[in-house]
Chain A
Amino acid sequence: MDPAYVDSLVVVGTEELIFRFVHPTSYDAASPLGERVQLSALATKDFTPSPVSSGASAYVKSRLAGGLQDLFVANSKWRAHRVAEVPAASLVAIGLQVRYSPGECPFPSVSHAHASLIGITRENRPRVLRLIEQHLQP
């Protein structure tokens, strides 16, 4: 992917809240708190921008008039996922960029809220996952 493409994406404000889904297969309810979201929840393909993805997918809450419900209408399978509501500022604080990436969203009705978490690496992945777990909805 052209690095200029990533630079061209609009930065999400640090005051925003970000929805990030966790697939049920990557959540181990039997693990101690802080270790339930598994490494598998962030794939290595999210580490490096590719022609189809600049990073891990997320959604900006304030851009969704109906909140989480809008996402469930766009893709009902997400109802089975765990969802975290993470402050963008916390993601930025651990070194990630959060940028709008509507062109990468396969669901037109919510593409305007789509964002990418850019800068995930093998090294910082455990910290990102811990942050996501801290903000999981019950």
Chain B
Amino acid sequence: MSALSIATAETFRPMPSPTRMDETSAIIEELLALAKVKVRMVALEVETQRDGWDDEGGVAVAATTWAEAHRLVSLIAQQLGPALPLPFVSPSGDGSVHLTWRNAKGDRGVLELGPGEAWWNVLPPPGGGEAQSEKLRSTEESLPKVFAFFG
């Protein structure tokens, strides 16, 4: 095939179908959203490296806790897919990292990671009943909790 015919073929290559473009856009949006969460996590990791980071005598968040939070956020996002939201990430003065999701019912699911333990909490919206908390035996137990939370 001549260079001219290759150039012509490239020039007149059919555009991707609208469906394909929608899929591509969805993937790009998903990746951008995940990147935004990850950037926030990195910034928070830097902010929480020292004791007293919260101006209230808070305990520094261990690098291992942040690493586990990163791993779970990526894994859960990968398994839940683009249709479901990413968590809001916030550190706490006890050295833990909280990952908070919201489902279609308006409940909040909060995973508290570390240090040394993990808790899963489900908080109904205001007036929607009592919050439930459960201590997890390992962070791996959080995965089925999060998946069940989204039904």
A-to-B contact residues, CB < 8 Å = 21, 23, 25-26, 28, 30-32, 34-35, 38-46, 52-53, 57, 75, 77-78, 81, 106, 122-123, 125-126, 130
For the complex, what is the distance from the CA of A44 to the CA of B117, rounded to whole Å?
A: 12
Contact B125 A25 (CB under 8 A): no
Contact B55 A75 (CB under 8 A): yes
Contact B88 A44 (CB under 8 A): no
Interface size class of B (residues with CB under 8 A): 20 to 34
For the complex, what is the distance from the CA of A69 to the CA of B23, rounded to whole Å?
A: 53
The total of Cβ contacts below 8 Å across the A-B interface reads 79
Give me 21 A-to-B residue pairs in the complex whose CB atoms sit less than 8 angstroms apart, sorted by A's number.
A25-B44, A26-B92, A28-B90, A31-B88, A34-B125, A34-B126, A38-B100, A39-B98, A39-B100, A39-B112, A39-B121, A40-B92, A41-B92, A43-B59, A43-B92, A45-B94, A46-B93, A52-B57, A78-B55, A81-B55, A123-B131
For A41, list chain B residues within 8 Å (CB): 92
